[in-house]
Amino acid sequence: MKVMLVDDSKTMRNIQKGILNQLGYTDIVEACDGLDAMSKIGPYQPELLLVDWNMPNMDGLTFVKEFRSRGSVAPIIMVTTEAEKSRVVEAIKAGVNNYVIKPFTPEGLRERITETLARANAA
Amino acid sequence: MQSIYVIPYVKSIQNVFQTMLQLSVDVGEPSSKQPGKPSYDVSGIIGMSGTIQGNVVLSFPTATAERIVSLFTGCELTHTHADFADAIGELVNMVCGGAKAMLAGEEVNISCPSVVVGSDHRVLGRSDAVCIVVPCTCDCGEFAMEISLRQVAAGSAATTTAA
């Protein structure tokens, strides 16, 4: 499975990459913001995305809307510090499939990834 | 500045450190920071805008920061490593994001983090906001949270932000 990590923090991308590797996902492409991600989704065609919200150049919500407007149905997990209910609702309306609030434990993120993929496969 | 603005940051830093680093943070008595007094050697800075405006700084002695970053990243990173500042920035980002969620009824945005590395630097906040220093201790060493915020009425928040 091809996974894209979109976060302006290399530290956070490395943590998520480690957790994904533990789950057996090793085909991973990284992007440092929404614009960078937009330039890579065409060639890479990710099948799962983990996306931060607050990033320079293009934030995660804008990226999600752009991504969905292109017709892609790949599952998206927003991994962000934005914890208010209104923000979660806004993200779901934009097309996010699941939501993880930072800080998170490795077990917590693993569960959300597994849950998201199970739902996507069932659909 | 009212304590209701300090408490969310205290709760958040304890949550972030416990969740990401498995570290307990003991918080000391907050006090007003003397104007012009230097912070520690490594400072992660986040700006806040909206109905609460100002900045929040996590400031560490170099050795403490290096131990914390090593725990966070799983790698031995010194303060000169290119990824060191990124790790500090992400920590302060999570602390401020968590606090923001607890500031009920406020419309607040947080900036992308900035990180300063070097001894004897001073982080100067708004001149019209008191800076509260919250001393913190964990197994990696001591550090401080510097909270310099003021509340703005919702209508003037838009004007002030746009200025």
Q: Which member of B16, B86, B110 has the closest CB to residue A10?
A: B86
pLDDT of residue B163: 42
Average pLDDT over residues B10-15: 97
Beta-strand runs (E) in chain B: 26-27, 31-32, 42-50, 52-60, 108-110, 114-117, 131-138, 141-151
Contact: A11, B87; criterion CB under 8 Å: yes
Chain B residues with CB-CB distance to A53 below 8 A: none
Chain A residues with CB-CB distance to B15 below 8 A: 103
Q: Is the dihedral of CA A95, B91, A57, A35 positive or negative?
A: negative
pLDDT at A2 over 80: yes
> For the structural domain made of B3-31+39-155, what CATH number should be given?
3.40.1550.10
pLDDT of residue A67: 97
Average pLDDT over residues A43-53: 96
Residue-level length of chain A: 123
Nearest to B12 by CA among A15, A106, A83: A83
How far does B7 lie from chain A, in Å, by closest CA? 17
Contact: B100, A56; criterion CB under 8 Å: no
pLDDT tens-digit series, residues A67-95: 999 999 999 999 999 998 899 999 999 99
For B152, phi then psi, to 5°, come to: -125, 140
pLDDT of residue B118: 92
pLDDT at B161 over 80: no
Contact call for residues A58 and A34 (beta carbons, < 8 A): yes
Contact: A103, B19; criterion CB under 8 Å: yes
Average pLDDT over residues B96-124: 90
Lowest-confidence region among A50-64, A98-112, B96-110: B96-110
pLDDT of residue B127: 79
Domains of chain A, by residue range, sit at 2-122
State the best of B91, B94, B111 to mutate against chain A, taking most chain A CBs within 10 Å: B94
Domains of chain B, by residue range, sit at 3-31+39-155
Q: Which residue has the higher pLDDT, A31 or B160?
A: A31
Chain A residues with CB-CB distance to B70 below 8 A: none
pLDDT at B141 over 70: yes
Contact: B86, A54; criterion CB under 8 Å: no
Average pLDDT over residues B79-90: 95
Q: Looking at the DSSP assignment, which residues form a beta bridge with residue B52? A: B151
Chain B residues with CB-CB distance to A105 below 8 A: 19
pLDDT at B104 over 80: no
Q: Chain A within 8 Å of B100 (Cβ-Cβ)?
A: yes
Consecutive H or E run containing A102: none
Q: Which member of B74, B86, B110 has the closest CB to residue A9?
A: B86
Contact call for residues A63 and A21 (beta carbons, < 8 A): no
pLDDT-derived band at B160, boundaries 50, 70, 90: very low
Domain A2-122 has CATH 3.40.50.2300: yes
Could you give the residue ranges of the DSSP H alpha helices within A5-59? 10-22, 34-44
Average pLDDT over residues B10-16: 97
Q: Which residue has the higher pLDDT, B100 or B162?
A: B100
Chain B residues with CB-CB distance to A109 below 8 A: none
Please give the ipTM for the structure prediction: 0.89
pLDDT of residue B156: 59
